[in-house]
């Protein structure tokens, strides 16, 4: 169980909302022991998948930040509430632990700033730059660098 | 003086919506409205694109039922090419459609509606969710996850990618199936079937617990619409449209989906971006109809798998002499019957060697300039209609989604619940919870195309006629 899983989240039909997917697609295939999956949303069955990985890295667009934010996710933080068919990364971790009594050794969320989520298949230039920046960070983060464990609120780089 | 109670947005359904309850001078419910506040605009967005791109585009509309859009889009493409697809391709498309039903229906029951059923409508909203459910009955929630995983695994294996797979194309599918993967999926069937039956027995066990609530959950006569097979069997991929009234009379039958526009219109209201489809012969809004599990199980003559058929017979007993179950609460029951059917039918298809054929795609040029596809998505009948030029460039697109077709019925349900549970001038937890639960009967999917972090708080307002907020609460 030394593999890493990168989950790119987003809708590439909605401009910057697809940033997490675009970033995951740009991850180098040479990155060792790493799997990449793309999804529009996180669903409960992902709990069954992430439990088999040592590291899980979520890449997701965010409307609440203007800079990339790296957060080491803590399932002991405030219990999240699902607001729709989809789950948050924290919610997925919580579900994984409560369902299978296990967790990845380390779970990290990179929030990529999003500026325009209207219909469209391209990102804004600003989000494009942020995506490239985040992709460059991925190898370091998977190596255990970047971010720090927080119980609430994001950790800014 | 008129007062308006606003509940915005509704939680645990896809997309953004709010509910307003309009009171008359006496404080009684005069009306209730289910508003959808986001304009989608997908149809306009598609104009100018190539017809062959539509599967990849429309399957990104929705993160919950992308496969339904993919299949319906491919069927519209078949129509434009004016070709019959190979037998293997049709069976593979049918299999992935069933997989969509399995994963969607499993999510709806196990993770969205069960917290209400097992923990109670009046339990603490902070724990009345999947996490609270996990604490209450971990094995129950785990079985739901496993069942959903089965459905998603079929989709992943067939379509290579889990979401937004451009696997089904005009003329068939891109790749044949493999025997080893068939065997892998067949190994899931006993567990999936047992879980579907477990879900049904659980749900039937709680009906008595909610005997006081059920009569107020969208209990009214309406039309029911859906596809049925030539012999009237439950259908999910093809077939003809049937219209049944609230007394069980078939008022229209054998309607070719190509003629849908002759029978169904779309009204608009200034207060919602979601259209209001209606059955034209009865006009608007009298032509209100329901689609989805409740409609499908009501209108079919039978279900061609044994376990689901036995459940359908029990379900019909709820209707009494009318032979139609009009209560929207029983969407849940019908949904689970369909879940069981989907597992049984998937087994039949997986055991059919024809799905291992290698001829999976027919090819042709543009032969028609208008194409229509229809199939049964988890939430109801889905129509795609494309107008193209001689090169296949889209000139116009019309998508009629299942949730919109239930729009009038959802409004009626909200109104009935408001009448039944509004007490005084405050939005109580009990009222709020039941209205949300009433909407969830339909498992609506509204504008689930953005997910970016930082949205979807629950905000409830009571506003008087002068626009003043007289009561407010956040969840």
Residues of B127-162 as b/e, b for ≥16 C-beta within 10 angstroms?
bbbbbbbbebeeebbbbbbbbbbbbbbbbbbbbeeb
Mark whether B243 and B141 lie in a shared domain. no
B451 touches chain A (CB under 8 A): yes
- Among candidate residues B326, B357, B376, the one where a domain is terminated: B326
Cβ-Cβ contacts under 8 Å for B71 (sequence gap 6 or more): B93, B96, B97, B100, B168, B237, B373, B375
- Among candidate residues B380, B399, B418, the one where a domain is terminated: B399
Q: Give me the pLDDT at residue A85, please.
A: 63
Mark whether B291 and B264 lie in a shared domain. yes
Q: Is B378 exposed, middle or buried (0-12, 13-18, 19+ CB in 10 A)?
A: buried
Cβ-Cβ contacts under 8 Å for B211 (sequence gap 6 or more): none
Measure the CA–CA gap between B7 and B37, rounded to whole angstroms.
13
Report the length, in residues, of chain B: 475
pLDDT at A157 over 90: no
B52 lies in some domain? yes
Q: How far apart are the first and last CA of chain A?
A: 28
Measure the CA–CA gap between B243 and B231, rounded to whole angstroms.
15
What chain A holds in terms of domains, given with CATH numbers, is 4-142 (3.40.50.1450)
Q: How far is B211 from chain A (nearest CA, A)?
A: 27
Residue range A14-41, pLDDT digits in tens? 899 999 999 999 998 888 999 999 988 8
Mark whether B10 and B99 lie in a shared domain. no
B441 lies in some domain? yes
The position carrying tokens 């209606």 is B278
Q: Is B10 exposed, middle or buried (0-12, 13-18, 19+ CB in 10 A)?
A: buried
B337 lies in some domain? no
Mark whether B11 and B158 lie in a shared domain. no
Mark whether B115 and B162 lie in a shared domain. yes
B343 lies in some domain? no
Measure the CA–CA gap between B396 and A99, rounded to whole angstroms.
47
The SS3 of residue A76 is coil
Residue B203 token pair: 């749900």
Write out chain B residues lying below 8 Å of A38, CB-based.
161-163
Please state the φ and ψ torsions of residue B280, each to the nearest 5 degrees: -60, -40
B332 lies in some domain? no
Mark whether B171 and B246 lie in a shared domain. no
B7 touches chain A (CB under 8 A): no
Among B130, B152, B455, whose Cβ lies nearest the Cβ of A82?
B130
Contact A60 B162 (CB under 8 A): no
A72: part of which helix (H) or strand (E)?
A: strand A69-72
Query: What domain count does chain B have?
Result: 3
CATH of the domain at B126: 1.10.645.10
Report the length, in residues, of chain A: 157
B56 touches chain A (CB under 8 A): no
B388 lies in some domain? yes
Measure the CA–CA gap between B460 and B21, rounded to whole angstroms.
11
Mark whether B190 and B287 lie in a shared domain. no
B18 lies in some domain? yes
Please state the φ and ψ torsions of residue B470, each to the nearest 5 degrees: -100, -15
Write out chain A residues lying below 8 Å of B15, CB-based.
84
Mark whether B274 and B365 lie in a shared domain. no
Q: Give me the pLDDT at residue B370, please.
A: 98
What's the domain range around B445?
Answer: 3-38+409-474
B336 lies in some domain? no
Mark whether B375 and B437 lie in a shared domain. no
- Residue of chain B with shortest Cα separation from A94: B131
Measure the CA–CA gap between A136 and A122, rounded to whole angstroms.
20
Q: How far apart are the first and last CA of chain B?
A: 28
Contact A45 B449 (CB under 8 A): no
Q: Enumerate residues 101 to 130 of chain A having a beta carbon within 8 A of any beta carbon in chain B.
A: 111, 114, 117, 119
DSSP E strand boundaries for B256-393:
264-269, 272-279, 289-290, 370-377, 380-388
Among A38, A85, A114, whose Cβ lies nearest the Cβ of B452?
A114
Is the C-alpha dihedral spanning B410, B415, B421, B425 positive or negative?
positive
Please provide the DSSP assignment of B371-408 as one string. Answer: EEEEEEETTEEEEEEEEE-TT-BEEEEEEE-HHHHTHH
Mark whether B375 and B277 lie in a shared domain. no
Measure the CA–CA gap between B63 and B82, rounded to whole angstroms.
30
- Residue of chain A with shortest Cα separation from B141: A99
Please state the φ and ψ torsions of residue A111, each to the nearest 5 degrees: -90, 125
Nearest one of B218, B378, B234 to B297, comparing CA atoms: B234
Max Cα-Cα span within chain A: 42
Cβ-Cβ contacts under 8 Å for B421 (sequence gap 6 or more): B216, B428, B430, B431, B434, B435
Mutation for testing the A interface, residue in B13, B46, B132, B451 having most A CBs under 10 Å: B451
Q: How far is A96 from chain B (nearest CA, A)?
A: 10
Q: Give me the pLDDT at residue B326, please.
A: 97
The residue that leads in pLDDT, A156 or B153, is B153
Q: Give me the pLDDT at residue B2, please.
A: 53
Residue range A82-131, pLDDT digits in tens? 445 678 899 899 889 988 999 999 999 999 999 998 888 999 999 999 99
- Low-confidence residues of chain B, pLDDT below 50? 9-14, 162-164, 448-460
Q: Enumerate residues 5 to 64 of chain A having a beta carbon within 8 A of any beta carbon in chain B.
A: 9-14, 16-17, 37-41, 43-45, 47-48, 60-64
Measure the CA–CA gap between A75 and B38, rounded to whole angstroms.
32
Angstrom CA distances, A127 to A36, A115, A134, A137, B79, stand at: 21, 7, 10, 15, 40
Q: Give me the pLDDT at residue B249, please.
A: 96
- Residue of chain A with shortest Cα separation from B151: A45
Q: What angle do CA B345, B235, B14 make, to 5 degrees?
A: 90
Mark whether B233 and B171 lie in a shared domain. no
Measure the CA–CA gap between A152 and B403, rounded to whole angstroms.
37
Mark whether B393 and B461 lie in a shared domain. no
Model-level ipTM above the cut of 0.95? no
DSSP E strand boundaries for A66-119:
69-72, 106-113
């Amino acid at each position: 169980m030394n593999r890493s899983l990168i989950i790119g989240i987003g809708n590439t039909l909605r401009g910057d909302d697809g940033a997490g997917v675009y970033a995951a697609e740009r991850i180098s295939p040479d990155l060792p022991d790493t799997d990449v999956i793309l999804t529009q949303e996180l669903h409960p069955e992902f709990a069954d998948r992430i439990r088999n990985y040592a590291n899980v890295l979520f890449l997701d667009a965010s409307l609440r930040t203007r800079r990339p934010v790296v957060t080491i996710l803590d399932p002991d933080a405030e219990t999240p509430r699902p607001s729709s068919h989809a789950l948050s990364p924290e919610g997925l971790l919580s579900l994984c632990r409560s369902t299978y009594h296990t967790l990845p050794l380390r779970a990290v969320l990179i929030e990529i700033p999003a500026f325009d989520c209207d219909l469209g298949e391209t990102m804004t230039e600003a989000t494009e730059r942020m995506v490239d920046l985040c992709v460059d960070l991925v190898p370091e983060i998977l190596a255990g660098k970047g971010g720090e464990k927080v119980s609430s609120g994001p950790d800014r780089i | 003086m008129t007062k308006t109670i606003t509940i915005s947005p509704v939680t645990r359904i896809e997309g953004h919506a709010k509910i307003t309850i309009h009171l008359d001078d006496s404080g009684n419910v005069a009306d209730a409205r289910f508003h959808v506040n986001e304009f989608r605009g997908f149809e306009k967005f598609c104009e100018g694109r190539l017809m062959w791109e539509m599967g990849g585009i429309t399957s990104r509309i929705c993160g919950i039922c992308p496969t339904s859009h993919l299949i319906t889009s491919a069927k519209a493409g078949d129509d434009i090419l004016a070709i019959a697809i190979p037998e293997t391709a049709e069976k593979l498309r049918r299999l992935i459609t069933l997989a969509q039903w399995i994963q969607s229906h499993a999510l709806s029951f196990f993770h969205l509606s069960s917290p209400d059923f097992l923990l109670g409508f009046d339990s603490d909203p902070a724990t009345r969710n999947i996490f609270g459910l996990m604490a209450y009955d971990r094995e129950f929630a785990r079985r739901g996850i496993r069942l959903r995983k089965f459905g998603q695994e079929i989709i992943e294996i067939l379509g290579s990618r889990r979401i937004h797979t451009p696997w089904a194309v005009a003329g068939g599918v891109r790749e044949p199936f493999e025997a080893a993967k068939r065997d892998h999926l067949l190994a899931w069937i006993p567990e999936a079937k047992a879980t579907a039956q477990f879900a049904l027995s659980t749900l039937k066990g709680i009906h008595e617990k909610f005997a006081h609530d059920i009569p107020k959950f969208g209990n009214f006569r309406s039309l029911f619409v859906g596809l049925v097979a030539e012999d009237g069997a439950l259908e999910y991929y093809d077939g003809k449209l049937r219209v049944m009234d609230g007394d069980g009379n078939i008022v229209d039958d054998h309607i070719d989906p190509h003629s849908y526009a002759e029978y169904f219109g779309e009204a608009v209201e200034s207060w919602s971006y979601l259209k209001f489809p209606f059955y034209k012969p009865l006009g608007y809004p009298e032509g209100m109809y329901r689609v989805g599990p409740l409609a499908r199980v009501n209108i079919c003559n039978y279900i061609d798998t044994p376990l689901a058929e036995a459940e359908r017979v029990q379900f019909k007993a709820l209707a009494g002499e009318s032979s139609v179950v009009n209560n929207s609460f029983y969407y849940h029951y019908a949904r689970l019957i369909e879940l069981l059917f989907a597992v049984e039918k998937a087994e039949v298809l997986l055991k059919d060697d024809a799905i291992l054929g290698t001829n999976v795609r027919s090819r042709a040029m543009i032969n028609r300039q208008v194409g229509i596809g229809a199939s049964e998505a988890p939430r109801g009948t889905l129509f795609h209609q494309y107008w193209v030029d001689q090169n296949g460039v889209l000139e116009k697109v019309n998508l009629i989604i299942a949730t919109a077709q239930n729009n009038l019925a959802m409004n009626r349900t909200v109104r009935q619940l408001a009448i039944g549970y509004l007490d005084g001038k405050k939005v109580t937890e009990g009222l709020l919870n039941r209205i949300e639960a009433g909407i969830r009967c339909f498992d609506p999917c509204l504008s689930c195309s953005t997910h970016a972090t930082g949205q979807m708080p629950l905000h409830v307002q009571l506003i008087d006629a002068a626009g003043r907020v007289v009561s407010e609460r956040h969840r």
